[in-house]
Amino acid sequence: MELWAIWLIVAAVLLVIEMMTLTFYLLWIAIGAVVAAALALFVTDSFVWQVLPGCAVVLVLTTFTKPITRYFRSSKGFSDAVDELVGKPGIVLEPAEEGKPGIVKVGNETWSAVSITGEPLAQGDTVVVVERGSATLRVDKWKGEV
């Protein structure tokens, strides 16, 4: 199989994974793979001269788009779906212990979660989302009525 075709397959796989994660980091790597594919198809057979420009494109995109995405996230009217979970109740599906996050179902979604008080969360406990972390929700045991 030609190297340019392998680069395009890598780019397609990265794009599919990106659509599932919505982080934009894999998107930049996929674009770098497309650049490497174009170089492999039209310019050079050297693997090194395909990888280096591809990596340069990834670095430039990551460096220059981070401030732009930070600006849009902080702009008035922007609402992240995870931020809307704060204050909502959830059910513990997998227990959370000291240093190990558990799994919590909030609405129709499951999330990794840790207790803000540090106390363990047992399966079936009702919790409320207090704040969001980068990859986990911070929850507290529900003290009201369900």
Looking at the structure, tell me whether residues 89 and 129 fall in a common domain.
Answer: yes
> Looking at the chain, how many residues does it have?
146
Q: Tell me which residue of 31, 25, 17 sits closest to 62, measured CA to CA.
A: 25
- The model's pLDDT over 82-116, given as tens digits with 9 standing for 90+, comes to 667 888 899 999 988 877 888 999 888 888 998 88
pLDDT of amino acid 38: 95
Q: Within a domain: residue 24?
A: yes
Question: DSSP H helical segments within 1-146, as ranges?
Answer: 3-21, 25-42, 48-74
Please state, as a whole number, how many other Cβ atoms lie within 10 Å of the Cβ of residue 96.
Answer: 25
Separation CA 59–CA 8 (nearest Å):
19
Q: Which helix (H) or strand (E) holds 48?
A: helix 48-74
The structural domain count of the chain equals 2
134 belongs to a structural domain: yes
60 and 9 inside one domain: yes
Question: Is residue 146 one of the residues assigned to a domain?
Answer: no
Domain CATH code at residue 123: 2.40.50.140
CB-CB neighbours of 139 under 10 Å: 30
Its pTM stands at: 0.51
pLDDT digits (tens, 9 = 90+) for 30-43: 999 999 999 999 98
